[in-house]
Amino acid sequence: MRVLGVDPGLTRCGVGVVEGVAGRPLTMIGVGVVRTSADAELGDRLVAIERGIEQWLDEHSPGYVAVERVFAQHNVRTVMGTAQASAVAMLCAARRGIPVALHTPSEVKAAITGSGRAEKAQVGAMVARLLRLDAPPRPADAADALALAICHIWRAPAQNRLQLAVAAHRTPGASRTQPTPGISRTPGISRTSAASRTPRTLKGPTA
């Protein structure tokens, strides 16, 4: 499994590609940051991010794209920029038919370090250890992108099993009991067998 992790951001959009399967050593294929100037127009910045992500998709051909799920922050402007960059990444993947997965920061931290409240330094250190790197990638956005990719590789098998179970449960007729012959399903009518509905013979006065 080859996954492109995207840590969305307008100024720095972290990207990292990891290959491997759950339970086995993972390999970093590439890592970097797509940068845009804070002085540029918003539309131009989004176009630059799109081109950068498209270049990574062309070069590494990932089978999946994992993007950080945007969550509420006190700085609304930061949230908006993150959401816009996230949408660009999802668009680039969807246009190519590449499945996209969203993971919250706490999910990624828990998967990588065992704690959903881990600091960025801890995440970077564990990423370096898991990928057998000499040092955590810089800036932190790059390390976070790799962490997203690792998280998806580890969580994908369980998510796939859950999705299959849900799909099987929702299959029409899977959980319905087939009507029993002779049993009425008409509302308001007692569900008794046809045999029990034989008219009774009234006994008149004995002659």
86 touches 8 (CB < 8 A):
yes
68 is catalytic: yes
- Could you tell me the two tokens for 139? 């800036």
Catalytic pick from 39, 107, 141, 144?
Answer: 141
**39: annotated active-site residue:** no
Number of neighbouring beta carbons within 10 Å of residue 116: 13
Catalytic residue selected from 41, 44, 68, 119? 68
Residue 44 catalytic? no
Widest CA span in the chain: 113
Tokens 């009507």 -> residue: 179
Angle at alpha carbon of residue 123, lines to 17 and 22, rounded to 5°: 50
CA dist 109 and 75 (Å) reads 22
Catalytic residues: 7, 68, 141
